Structure formats: C-alpha cells, structure tokens
Chain A
Amino acid sequence: MTAVQKQTQRVNAATVRFAGDSGDGMQIAGMQFTDASAVFGNDIATLPDYPAEIRAPAGTVAGVSGFQINFASSDIHTPGDTVDALIAMNPAAFKANIGDVRSGGTVIVNESEFNKVNLRKAGYDEGYNPINDEVLTGQYNIFAVPITRMTEETLADTGMSAKDIGRCKNMYALGLVYWVFDRPLEPTVRFLHNFFGEKKNLPQIAEANETVLKAGYHFGETAEIFVHRYQVAKADIAPGKYRRVTGNEATALGLITASKLASKDLIYCSYPITPASDILHNLAAMKQYGVKTVQAEDEIAAVCAAIGASFAGQFAVTGTSGPGLCLKSEAIGLAVMTELPMVIINVQRGGPSTGLPTKVEQSDLLQALFGRNGDSPLIVLAPQSPADCFDIAIEAARLTLGAMTPVIILSDGYIANGAEPWRIPDAAALDAIDVNHPAPRDPADDGDGNPTFLPYDRDENLARPWAHPGIKGLQHRIGGLEKANLTGNVCYTPENHQAMTDLRHDKVARIADRIPPIEVQGDASGDVLVLGWGGTFGAITTAVEQVRDKGLRVSAAHLRHLNPMPKNLGDILANFNKILIPELNTGQLRMLVRDKFLVDAKGLNKVQGQPFLVNEIVQAIELIESGNWPDDRLSLSPIHHEVSAEPQRQT
C-alpha cells in the first residue's frame, strides 16, 4: 500500500469563495483567510456577499452568505471573476455558487449537511444529490468532507454544548483550506485568542476553535483525498508596514486623521443604515482620538446635528446610504446656502427605494450632484478602492474646510466591505489642514473705526469666514433664506440672488484649480478610452491591462473627482476615437460627460447588485474597438456573464 503522493502546484493567483448559511461564520472565515494571505505577503482583494436578512431561513438559497477572496503573487485589483475553490457548507450554498466555479475548479462540500432535509430546502429534486451527479463531478473536483461531524468528534470530550460545537465548524473548513493553499495558521490562532479569549472572556471557545482549525488543517495533510496543494508566492509589494482595511475602516481612519490634521474634534452624526453602519461602529470605538459620535433619531437629524456641529466650529461628518441621502437633501441644501463645511458619506447600494441594501450599485451620482431644490452645487468625490477611502476622506476634509461648502463622498457597498492591503503612511509626513477662524473683536470698538464683521465676505477661494459661536465680537445670524453677499442679511433682491447663485457655483467650480489632473493608464492617445469612476477602478484597470496585452490601443482613466471634474479631462477625451464608460447604473456619468464635453460616449451598464467582472469589460472593449458596438449603451443581460445588446429605448 503506497501513500498518495501529494503534489504542490505553483499558481500566480487564486480565487477562493466561502459559502454557507448566513449564520455559518463565512464572513469570519473569509476575513481570516484574507488576513492570513496578507500576512503571508500576497496582494489581496475581497468581496463579501451577504443577504439583507440577518438570519434568512436556514438552509435556503436566500440565506446564503458568501465571502470571496482573490490573492496573488502580483498586483491585483479585483476579487476575481471565477472561483478556483469553493467551500460550500450546505446544499443551498452549493447551488447558489457552483455556477461561478471555473471548470476543473476545486469544490469542498460539507458532506454532513447534504442530507434529505437540506437538499429539499435548497430546492433540489427528491432523491437528487448534486455531489453524486456525474456531470458535476466530471466538471469539478468535488471533495466531500463531513465537516460538521468531524467538528463534533474533535470537540466531543470538551463538554461544550452542541450549539457551541456547531459554531466551530467554519474553523474546520478554514483549516482545511489553509492546508490546500499553504497558508499560515498563526494569524488566525492569534485572532481567536484575542477575540474569544481576551475580548469576550471565553478562553474555552478560543481553545475549541483553535483545536478545530488545526484538525481541519491536519485532515488536509493526512487524508488521502487531496492530491493537489497550491502555492501562491509572495507578491512583489512595495516594502513597508501594512494592514488590511475595508473601505469603511479606511473611511473611519481617514476622517479621524483629517480631524487631527485640522486640529478639530470629529463629530460623526449618523443613523444606522446598511452598508454604512460600520463607519459609525468603527468611529464609536475610537473616541480617544477626539471623536464624538451621535446616533441620531433619523437621517435628517443626523445631517442636521452635523450642520449644528459645523456651525459651532468642529469638523462635522454624516454618513448614510442612498435612501438616507434622499432624506438629507433639504438639510444639505441648508449647508450649501449657509456655506458651512461638512462631509456627507454615501455608501451606495442598489436602489431605488429600499432597493438592495447589501448589494453594490453606483446609481446615486446624479442625486449627489443635483438632488436638492434650487441650484445647489457642492463637491462630489468618489474613492476607487477600499484603501483609497482613507485618502478621499482626508481630501474631502481639506476641500470642505477650505471652501466652506459641503462635500459628498460616493463610496459603495463593494469597496466599503471589500478589503485590500493598506500601506500604513507616516503620520508625520501628512500635511496639516489649514483652518482659519477670524480673530475675535472687541465689541467696544464697534462704530469706532472697527468695520462691521461681514460673515459673507470672501477669500481668494470665495470661501466665507468660519466665525463660530464663542468668538467674541463676531456674532451674526445665518439661515436658509437667501443671503446678501458680505453682510449675510436676508435679501430677496433679483440682483443679489443672481450674484449669490453665481458665487456658489463659481466657488465649487474653482476647486478644479486645486485638484490633481486625471491620469491615463496606458497611452495618452489611442483608439478607445475606458472612463470610469469610483469602485469600478479595479475591474476596469484589470480589463484594460488584459486588452493592452493583446495589442489593442486602449487606455483607461478613472475619476475620483466628480464635481468639479479635473480640468484636463476634456483634452484627454479628445485624444481617443471612442469613449467607453462602464458604470453600475444606467449611464449617469455618461450623461454628464456627454453634456459637458459633447462626446458620443458609449455606456456599459450593469445593475445586478454585483461588481463588474473583468471579462464583462474586456468583452465590451473588444466590441467597441472592433466597430461592432450595437447601440448607445449595452446593458448586461440577466444571463450570467454574457454581454448582449439592449433594445433601443432612449427617450
């Protein structure tokens, strides 16, 4: 009897997806795999995908929670189009995810859960078990491992309750996958002891999880069913200290950093809403940095409290998602009118209305720009990756405090929950944010040659002075009624309203002088320019790299500044024959670009609650490049992974 020879195969990148019931701990398993891979030295990108319901009916397809991670020995920008290895904790998870696994991919299923009841809950026909289906076993390398039973046996002598034991099974699966992909166990062991041991004071649970993790790993090592083991070498990453951040974590870090750079308290006012709540959670846990959090009674109160805090002289921020931005509209108009600094974070999700709370979309761009009564211009920025949320938060603070006008940040559910490595900056090297409050005046001087304080006087950036309560001699009144320039008194004259509308417009337009030019990835001129904004950066960048490798004359450019746009954008657009704008909406940036630059930009539009696959963009580029573009815009058909023409219905 000879032992099965284990072979180790080197691959450049791999995409792993953990899938199970929303209570199965798949997000934790995925995050741990991410951390282990980051610590190992891979580049990483993640995509958590979970249902809106906290605990959808167990065992059903609707309740499946997934976490996908792409890790590589080279620079990567997306969580991967297709899955190399799927871990399916039950039949529903198998059913919901098997279609995304590449042909020949690895599928580890928790055999214990593939029983009659669960198969029925997943909607499989009576008597059918997919892991015995010869078509499927021919297409994929399916490994049936009784994960639940092995976990129970591992912990049989601990005296733990069946429920507590059941909750450890994600660690068994994780341990097994760690073996398959040759990952270090130490970061997870450390996490288990920190989280369960120290934070929750449950050392026994920490011990149990560690035991199960190792049991899973050892099973991979000793069981004779896994022939292949995969190695993804360290990536060539710039030296330095790193940590893994999600977009929401990076946003919180950026806001605190901005408040410190401006020597202000951070006042964060928010109402819980998916997928923005984690910003509130993160900030509430870091109050020692001078953070005050207000969980308001509603979205309107949250933005209003932020406006009050700004009026009182602190750095004020409110965070929300699409439906909340609707509710905040009137108050944001007040901040525009009173010319107060404030950052509004909108972590976009699928809409309209309640829409798809946990899914990604980019469909609030026009709302951010125009969704208020009257002409009410403000600054709009969009981070392009999880780590970029840090830089965008600081830039938003710098712009709002410098221009005395609100800034909207358009993050999205994909980058908010997705993670990537973040190279930790040197705090001392960050530039301070200048905030100038006018000096106090002695009221006794009034009428004695001391000119009246003018709350709507302006500096070279057209910003008015930030004279907050507490500053002696500068008391004044502001409000939502139209203001006379200089004095700030209520004024309804036709000339003044024209002048003030123009001033508010010009103030925002002049920001274009202070933002960096947009950069082109690839050649400065060519056949096709793929223009994107916000969270689609990774997919677009990767797609353009791929088609350039094929020799196509295609470049990419990505907008982080949506209002105003970089000054060189028009020149760049003019250097290309065709413009393609992929967006997770029905063509909002395309509408703006057509309007501003009179170019016949084409749109690739996807609204499925999921980010673009690289391949979807590659196909669209090839279509436009070859002159076979069928229409104004392409809508991704509901048929998975295929691009098809949408019937003409532009009205």
Chain B
Amino acid sequence: MSPDTELPILKPTDFASDQDIRWCPGCGDYAILNQMKKVCAKLGATKENTVFVSGIGCSSRFPYYMDTYGFHTIHGRAPAIATGVKVANPDLDVWLVTGDGDGLSIGGNHLIHALRRNINVKLLLFNNRIYGLTKGQYSPTSEEGKKTKSSPLGSVDMPISPISMAVAAEASFVARAVDVDKRLGDILTEAAKHQGSAFVEIYQDCNVFNHFAFKHATAKDMKDDCTLWLEHGKPMIFGKDRDKGIRLTGNKPEVVELGSGISEDDLLFHDVHDEAQAFMLSRMKHPRFPEPMGVFYQIEDDVYENLVAAQVQQARDQRGEGTLQQLFESGDTYTVE
C-alpha cells in the first residue's frame, strides 16, 4: 500500500458481522457490544489487525458478532490462546472476552498468569454473577447463600472479587464499568490505549437468570448513591447530590457526609498508581460502601510479547542470526573419512 492511499474510516456499524445475534433479548451483552463497536471506530482500528478471543459462555459468543478476526475457543483457555496470538504477532490488537465462570472458575489460572505476564491484551470480564449458558447455576462471583438450581439451599461458596484478584495478580491496568453506563466506552478506550494487560470487570445484567444483580449500579434512584466513580488526583466524592465522600481513618475507608466540618480536602484522593489503595478500593462492597467504578490501578510495565521478541534479537546480537548449517554443526562434530 502506498503511503498516500486513503485509509477508509470505519463506522461502528462496519464492525458488525453478518451473523444473527443470539443473546436473549434484554441481555446486558448487547450494550457492551454496541460500545465496543463505537470504541473500535473511535480508535481507528482495522478489521484485519483486530482479534477477539473468547472462551465459553454467553459472553464468549462475542467474537461472532464483530467483523474482525475472532476465535471462540474452549472453556477458560482464552487467556492462554491470546498469549500465543500476541507472541506470534505482537502488532495485533487483541481483545479477550470472558465471564465470571469462564475467567474466574475454570480459567482462573490462565487469567492470573496472563495478567502477571503483562501481555498486551485487553481482558473484558463480563460479570453477571451466574452461569447463564448452562441455565442458572451459581458462579464464583455469586453471593453467599445464593439459591440456584444447583444450590437450592443456598450457595456455601465464598465469592471472589475479580478486581482484588486482578490487583493481586500484578495486572498493570484494572478497571470496572457497567454494561448500560455510557462511561463503559471511556473505560474501554483507556484500556485499549494502555500498553499491557488491561483488565476490565463489566457488571452485566443476565435478565433471565440473575436479573438486577447489579441494580444498585444501574437503577436511576440508586446508582449515584451506590457507586463511586474514580478519577485520578480527585477526591472520592459520590451521591446524587455529590454530598458524600470516602475518608481514610487509620487504614480503613469510611463513608462521610460533606459539610458539617468535613471538606473535600479531608477525603481520600484517588491515586491510580497506588497498588495498596487499589486493593482497598476493591474490597469496598455494596451495601456498606459505594462500589468504585472506573480505573482502580494503572502502571507502566514491560510487555511480555515484546520481551519475548527482544530475547530473539538479543540472541542474534550476541551470536548472529545463524544459518541452518551452523545450527547443525553447533555441537561437537567429527568427520568420518
């Protein structure tokens, strides 16, 4: 392609594949898909260099609906497959779509290792706190006592916090968003621009098997009081009237009312580079606390696939590229006359 060839500007609709979407009507996945197409268009992504990799579950049907390269793999293994894609071709824009069952249960191990290696993949975990595809069993993020077909007396499993897990797994970008909230697009954009593993937990409504699991984060009369949108360098203020905030007392966060002697300066300021604070924020749960949204944590770190490629270059710098004949004769050789 000559340099002056005009690049076609793709619209969000250009990223729609020709496949019928088979999610249930009203599923939160639709909203995420729409935001994703917009983000791809906004970022100037190309279809040929964009890859969606997924595992198994409702969310993992995602790649079929994007007109890019896509790989719907096997249960839990998408992070490992995405790792191979990036090692083979670091130039690709790779998105990984997983769910709470796929990413945290059967594939928990791979998720941890993809994050700690800092592979330049954007990992979106659609958390609906239920197994939807298999018709409604409790998941690793279901609340304790959850009654489902497989837990008629209530689940006895302690749920895992995806954000706590990601911070502990050395992720270099950790964020949370909500399916129907427009700010999801901003978070996805920031994730895309991040160099390294970007982990985004997305609260996603399964309106068939776990409707309103995140009502506190989506209902008009609740969401402002029950969520806290994080902004780097800004005090942690929330509430419909923006009259409440988070203050640190000792090592513990507490909810305080602004006014009556408490000013913004008394509040905790969000430092996106502070790992300990990120972890603390990840432990703030509804209803005791507003649940933090936005970017919890972000640092710059070396990217795995670049390091892998650099070692090939390093070996070449030290030893030369080498021919096959040199390879064959690299051991102790001897000649038979």
Q: List the interface of chain A (C-beta within 8 A of B).
A: 35, 38-39, 41, 187, 190-191, 237-245, 249, 253, 256-257, 260, 265, 267, 269, 286-294, 296-298, 300-302, 304-314, 316, 330-331, 334, 338, 424-428, 430, 440, 443-444, 468-481, 489-490
Q: Is there an interface contact between B84 and A308, defined as CB atoms closer than 8 Å?
A: yes
Q: Which of B109, B314, B324 contacts A260 (CB 8 A)?
A: B324
Chain B interface helix/strand/loop/mixed: mixed
Q: Quick check: A310 and B328 within 8 Å, CB to CB? A: no
Q: Is B4 an interface residue (CB 8 A)?
A: no
A428 CB contacts on chain B under 8 angstroms? 325
Q: Is B8 an interface residue (CB 8 A)?
A: yes
**Contacts A289-B327, A444-B8, A470-B91 hold; do A478 and B70 have CB atoms under 8 A apart?**
yes
In the assembled complex, B316 has its CB within 8 A of some CB on chain A: yes
Give chain B residues whose Cβ lies under 8 Å from the Cβ of A244: 331-332
Asked whether B308 lies within 8 Å of A292 as measured between CB atoms, the reply is yes
A310 touching B73, Cβ below 8 Å: no
Known: A305-B84, A309-B88, A481-B72. A427 touches B323 (CB 8 A): yes
The answer on a CB contact under 8 Å between B85 and A308 is: yes
A481 to B54, CA, bound (A): 13
CB <8 Å contact, A243 and B81: no
- List A contacts of B71 (CB < 8 A): 308, 311, 338, 477-479
Least CB distance, A28 to chain B, in whole angstroms: 14
Could you write out 18 A-B pairs with CB less than 8 Å apart?
Answer: A38-B334, A39-B334, A243-B333, A265-B88, A287-B314, A300-B77, A304-B74, A304-B81, A307-B84, A308-B84, A312-B85, A312-B86, A312-B88, A330-B74, A469-B85, A475-B67, A477-B19, A490-B19
Give the chain A neighbours of B332 by CB distance below 8 A: 35, 39, 187, 190-191, 243-244
A471 to B8, CA, bound (A): 16
* Chain B residues whose CB sits within 8 angstroms of the CB of A478 once the complex forms: 70-72
Is there contact, CB below 8 Å, between B80 and A241? no
A480 touching B73, Cβ below 8 Å: yes
Interface centre among B17, B84, B328, B336 (most CB of A within 10 A): B84
Determine if A477 and B72 form an interchain contact, defined as CB atoms under 8 angstroms apart.
Answer: yes
Q: A406 → chain B, closest Cβ, in Å?
A: 14
Task: Give Cα A269–Cα B77 distance, bound, in whole angstroms.
Answer: 14
Chain B 46-66 per-residue mask, 1 if CB under 8 angstroms from chain A, else 0 = 111111010010000001100
Q: Which B residues, 290 to 334, have Cβ-Cβ distances below 8 Å to chain A?
A: 308-309, 311-312, 314-316, 318-325, 327-334
Q: Closest residue to B304 on the A side, CB-wise?
A: A294
Given that A474-B48, A475-B68, A476-B69 are contacting pairs, would A291 and B312 also be in contact in the complex, using a CB cutoff of 8 Å? Answer: yes
What CA separation (Å) do A314 and B64 show in the bound complex? 23
The answer to the question of B166 belonging to the interface, with a C-beta cut-off of 8 Å to chain A, is no
Report B61 CB to chain A, min CB distance, Å.
9
0 or 1 for each of B68-106: is its CB under 8 Å from A? (1 = yes)? 111111100101111111111101100000000000000
Q: Find out whether the CB atom of B83 lies under 8 angstroms from the CB atom of A288.
A: no
User: Chain B residues with Cβ under 8 A from A472's Cβ?
Assistant: 46-48
Q: Give the distance in Å from the alpha carbon of A261 to the alpha carbon of B113 in the complex.
A: 33
Contact assessment for B63 and A477 in the assembled complex, using a CB-CB cutoff below 8 Å: yes
B335 part of interface (Cβ distance < 8 Å): yes
Contacts of A430 in B (CB 8 A): 324
**Which among A243, A306, A473 is the interface contact of B329 at CB below 8 angstroms?**
A243
Asked if B337 lies at the interface with its beta carbon under 8 angstroms from chain A, I say: yes
- The closest CB in chain B to the CB of A287 belongs to B315
B110 beta carbon closer than 8 Å to chain A:
yes
Could you say which residues of chain A place their CB within 8 Å of the CB of B51? Answer: 312, 469
Q: Is the CB of A237 within 8 A of B84?
A: no
A114 and B69 CA atoms in complex are apart in Å by: 69
Question: Which residues of A lie under 8 Å from residue B8 when comparing CB positions?
Answer: 443-444
Quick check: A298 and B109 within 8 Å, CB to CB? yes
Question: In the complex, what's the smallest C-beta–C-beta distance from A90 to chain B, in angstroms?
Answer: 30
Which of the residues A249, A444, A471 comes within 8 Å of B48, measured between beta carbons? A471
A308 near B333 (CB under 8 angstroms)? no
Q: Which one, B47, B72, B311, B320, contacts A480 given CB within 8 A?
A: B72
B48 touches A306 (CB 8 A): no
Is A301 touching B77 in the complex (CB atoms < 8 A)? yes
Distance from A455 Cβ to chain B, minimum over Cβ atoms (Å): 10
Interface pair B324/A257, CB less than 8 Å apart: yes
With A292-B312, A305-B87, A427-B328 as contacts: A238 and B64 at CB distance below 8 Å: no
Known contacts: A257-B324, A304-B77, A311-B84. The answer to whether A294 contacts B110 by CB under 8 A is no
The 4 residue pairs across chains A and B that have the minimum distance between CB atoms? A308-B84, A479-B72, A304-B80, A305-B84
Given contacts A256-B327, A479-B73, contact A313 B47 (CB under 8 A): no
B64 touches A490 (CB 8 A): yes
Q: Are B335 and A241 in contact (CB under 8 A)?
A: yes
Known: A239-B336, A243-B334, A296-B83. 9 other contacts (CB 8 A): A41-B334, A191-B332, A294-B83, A308-B71, A310-B88, A311-B71, A426-B325, A472-B46, A472-B47
A312–B305 Cα distance when bound, in Å, is: 13
CB closest residue in chain B, given A41: B336
Interchain CB contact (< 8 A) of B69 among A240, A293, A427, A469: A469
- Residues on the B chain within 8 Å of A257, using CB: 324, 327
Closest chain-B Cβ to A480's Cβ sits at a distance in Å of: 5
